[in-house]
Amino acid sequence: SSLQGAYFIMAARAIGLDVIGFYHSNPDAPARPSEFDREHAWPTYSYIIVSVQGGAADELTSWTLTDDRTRFDGEDIISTTEA
């Protein structure tokens, strides 16, 4: 819920951390935000969603809610690994 999210943000700030986003999974569904997600999200944060198909992680996407709260825009996810 939005209250839980606010609690976690305040708790993180109390120990000197910043929250930059949230994540959740969509079992047997695409990695896309739902209307519920839009109604409960806040602009400026990243929302990472993983699609879980048949019990295994599949697609991973990231979204940010527009300032007018009407839609999510996709964000690029850049993966880096050290050789």
- % of the chain residues with pLDDT over 70: 95
Alpha helices in the chain (DSSP H): 2-14, 35-40
In angstroms, rounded to a whole number, what is the distance separating the alpha carbons of residues 73 and 33? 10
Taking the whole predicted model, whether its pTM rises above 0.95 is answered as no
Tell me the CA distances in angstroms from 27 to 3, 66, 74, one per residue in order: 24, 25, 20
Mean pLDDT of the chain: 92
> Is the predicted pLDDT of residue 41 greater than 60, yes or no?
yes
Confidence band for 1, pLDDT divided at 50, 70 and 90:
low
Of the two residues 83 and 46, the one the predictor is more confident about is: 46
> Is the predicted pLDDT of residue 21 greater than 90, yes or no?
yes
